[in-house]
Chains A and B, each alone.
Chain A
Amino acid sequence: GNSVTQMEGPVTLSEEAFLTINCTYTATGYPSLFWYVQYPGEGLQLLLKATKADDKGSNKGFEATYRKETTSFHLEKGSVQVSDSAVYFCALRADSGYSTLTFGKGTMLLVSP
């Protein structure tokens, strides 16, 4: 079946540091890949997505590239802010079925001033 593996957190960084959160996946076919962010007490918000190999999703300074050869979709940001503190979820949607998502377990990011 499909699965998503994320690096365990928490990830603790100082403001303006470089961020990488690793995500790898197992799936058949050509899934779409997503990063969602969850701020404290809120639901999940779509951060970025990529729908085919070599696509780069980007939003709010975050980027992730769909690498089919390494089955990865790592999240990066060049300079994090305190306001980026949240839980980040990597997810995939198979290219068949009813758009159900398979989520990783989430990675908490804590950014200090």
Chain B
Amino acid sequence: NAGVTQTPKFRVLKTGQSMTLLCAQDMNHEYMYWYRQDPGMGLRLIHYSVGEGTTAKGEVPDGYNVSRLKKQNFLLGLESAAPSQTSVYFCASTRNSVNQPQHFGDGTRLSIL
């Protein structure tokens, strides 16, 4: 009963380093999303995917790239990390069906020094 799994759970990077956050879902959902959560800002959509091989920009896409090579996985990449990208990152997924809720992972806490 895994649902949506995010790895890693915590990470500290130095400015300019790169890394990839992995999201995996076992519910056969078509749609997947990456959000960032910052104090007083709620959740903001970074990128999303409506199917394998497709991605689209959300509200705050700059500085991030994504890939959806397999239906169950959605990767979020930071090519050159900046302190402004210090945040908690959440992945979510949902079915391609009206009124279905999004299911969230437990988050990745990322600090950029």
Binding site for B on A (CB under 8 A): 32, 34, 36, 41-46, 49, 51, 89, 95, 98-101, 103-106
Contact = CB atoms under 8 A, between A and B. Distances in A.
Contacts, number: 53
B60 interface: no
Q: Interface extent on B, as a size class?
A: 20 to 34
B84 interface: no
B53 interface: no
B42 A98 contact: no
Interface string B78-104: 000000000000101010101111111
Contact of B106 (A43, A100, A103, A106): A43
Contact of B90 (A43, A49, A98): A43
B104 A45 contact: yes
Contacts of A98: 31, 48, 50, 56
Interface of B: 4, 31, 33, 40-45, 48, 50, 56, 58, 90, 92, 94, 96, 98-107
Contacts of A106: 42
A105 B40 contact: yes
A42 B48 contact: no
A101 B94 CA distance: 11
Given A43-B90, A43-B104, A103 B43 contact: yes
A104 B42 contact: yes
Nearest to A49: B101
Contacts of B45: 100-101
18 contacts: A42-B106, A43-B105, A43-B107, A44-B43, A45-B104, A49-B99, A51-B99, A89-B43, A95-B98, A98-B48, A99-B31, A99-B100, A99-B102, A101-B45, A103-B42, A103-B43, A103-B44, A106-B42
A34 B98 CA distance: 13
